[in-house]
Amino acid sequence: MKKVVSAVGKPFRFIGRFLLRLLRSLRFLGKPLARLGKLRGRARIIAFAVLAVIVVGAVLVLKPGPDDNEAVAETLDDYAAATRDKDYQTICDDLYAKDLVERVRAAGLPCEVALRTGLEDRQNPRLQVLGVEVNGDQALARVRSTAGGEVPSTDLVRLIKEDGDWRVISLSEPGATLQSQP
């Protein structure tokens, strides 16, 4: 009688054999792992499936998140788009750090009103990210900003990671420099 092999069984058998070889090479870990190698049949499949899930879970948990340099650049791109669209609410709620919004409020104006006052007359504002340097939960970005009828400028923008997102904490950093100058 010929054995019927399902398409699902083959990958599990392959993973099981791989894990068995791995376990055999890790015998120094003691008897509990050695016992796993002696399992047969359904118990062996279940044990190896559980191990495979644990290994995959560990890989996903330990996998680094998105590149912080790219995330900082994306935040600045969002800032440029919101400025261009005159979406001051998004800038204050989603792109500025809480501390910056509080400093603006302490000056006597709500954030949105202060931005509208300062940016309303700007025509076709653009922001180009020239370089980003991340150090833990802080970042410094060199940007080139242009707007219709204004002289282009190169500035440094400081960002912080707040609640898992990069947010602008200051728009001009006097005396700060990026290590990598193009």
Q: Where are the domains of the chain?
A: 9-62, 68-170
- Contact predicate 82/133, CB 8 Å: no
Which residues of the chain have a pLDDT value below 70? Answer: 1-11, 23, 25-34, 36-37, 62-66, 173-182
pTM comes to: 0.60
**Could you report the per-residue pLDDT of 114-167, keeping only the tens digit for each?**
888 888 888 888 889 999 998 888 999 999 988 888 888 888 999 999 988 999
Q: Which of 158, 161, 150, 159 is nearest to 174 (CA)?
A: 158
Distances (CA, A) of 41 to 14, 37, 105, 112: 14, 12, 68, 66
CATH of domain 68-170: 3.10.450.50
**Could you report the per-residue pLDDT of 140-155, keeping only the tens digit for each?**
999 998 888 888 888 8
At residue 181, the pLDDT reads 47
